[in-house]
Amino acid sequence: MTDPINTTTWRQRLRSYRKHPGSLLLLALVCLAALITAAALLFVVGYILVKGIPNLSLSLFEWKYTTENVSLMPALINTLFMTVLALLFAVPVGIGAAIYLTEYATRGNKLVNLMRITAETLSGIPSIVYGLFGSLFFVKALHMGLSLLSGALTLAIMILPLIMRTTEEALLAVPDSYREGSFGLGAGRLRTVARVVLPSAIPGILSGVILGIGRIVGESAALIFTAGTVAEVATGLFDSTRTLAVHMYSISGEGLYIDETYATAVVLLVVVIAINALSSFAAKKLSKQ
């Protein structure tokens, strides 16, 4: 917003509010709502951190999971596997689709409309429906069983619309003069996309990918029936595994490991906070360009 031409002092404002009590009431309501929102967030994050940090201990990071020591290390490593694998499927497809939609497709194409509608539909489907679909399709129909692979493929479909949308926005933000310059120098469409458009859109794409990682890390409902809940480090694509979020759900349900659950929640929260910070850092880089 531009700077106001004339500024008012507090005294003038107070006088104006005395004349317009309705406005004062609205101001109070707005500030109250913002306070409630901020307080709610602080309470949730603060409560988990305060209760959880004292429960963090080295034994929680031991290599083996046992019923005496519900180590979160295997789940943490599995989360990493799951994330990498899901991104391996979702990122190339998402970026390719976004390139098609922004650089190749002609305006008003029926197929393009259908692509947009389906991507929007995908982004609204609840994760439990993805989980159910994954268990019907990947686990049963394709015989992959409860496995790392089934879970990763399910998650890949889930984050696909997110990656498509953020990449599309990043590509659209690249000025047309870049493309025109490249075409003017005799480059073809593919070369223009690969050498000129994509490199300048990378920060935007990255921020989308990082948001996708956040969704993968936090996901539980879609994984219970696709990747299963085995608390050991996966040694192959077809091993059943649990990620950190599923691990937290499993140990919270048993009621015996409340302290460990707090600690796991802290680890999850820290990961999510780091991911968010990274994503906004990447986005800021984009806006600076």
Partner 1 sequence: MHTLKERAMHVVFLLTACVSIAAVVLICVFLFANGVPAIAEIGVFKFLFGTEWRPENNIFGILPMIVGSLYVTAGALVIGVPVGILTAVFMARFCPPKLHKILTPAIGLMAGIPSVVYGFFGLVVLVPFVRENIGGRGMSVLTASVLLWLMILPTIVSVSESAIRAVPNTYYEGALALGATHERSVFFTVVPAAKSGIFAGIVLGVGRAIGETMAVMMVAGNQPLIPDSLTDGVRTLTTNIVMEMGYSTDLHREALIGTAVVLFVFVLLINVSFSLLKRKGAKA
- 122 binds partner 1 per the rule CB under 8 A: yes
Residue 76 to residue 80: CA distance in whole angstroms: 6
When the beta carbons of 80 and 277 are compared against partner 1, the nearer one is: 277
- 175 binds partner 1 per the rule CB under 8 A: no
Number of residues counted as binding partner 1 (CB under 8 A): 91
- In the chain, helix, strand, coil percent, each to 5? 75, 0, 25
Could you write out the DSSP letters of every residue in 58-118? Answer: GGGG-SS--SSS--SHHHHHHHHHHHHHHHHHHHHHHHHHHHIIIIIPPTT-HHHHHHHHH
| Near partner 1 by CB under 8 A: residue from 7, 11, 141, 288 | 141
Helices (H), 5-20: 10-19
Segment near partner 1 (CB under 8 A); pick from 76-84, 155-163, 196-204, 230-238:
155-163
* Binding to partner 1 in span 33-52, by CB under 8 A: 33-34, 36-38, 40-41, 44-45, 47-48, 51
C-alpha distance from residue 235 to each of 32, 85, 99, 218 (Å): 52, 14, 35, 22
Radius of gyration of the chain (CA): 24
When the beta carbons of 210 and 234 are compared against partner 1, the nearer one is: 210
- 258 binds partner 1 per the rule CB under 8 A: yes
- 278 binds partner 1 per the rule CB under 8 A: no
- CA distance from start to end of the chain: 21
When the beta carbons of 118 and 289 are compared against partner 1, the nearer one is: 118
Residue 112 to residue 109: CA distance in whole angstroms: 5
Smallest gap from Cβ 241 to partner 1, in A, equals 16
Segment near partner 1 (CB under 8 A); pick from 54-62, 199-207, 234-242, 269-277:
269-277
Segment near partner 1 (CB under 8 A); pick from 67-75, 79-87, 231-239, 244-252:
244-252
- 30 binds partner 1 per the rule CB under 8 A: yes
Is residue 231 within 8 Å of residue 242, measured between CB atoms? yes
- 127 binds partner 1 per the rule CB under 8 A: yes
| Near partner 1 by CB under 8 A: residue from 220, 226, 240, 241 | 220
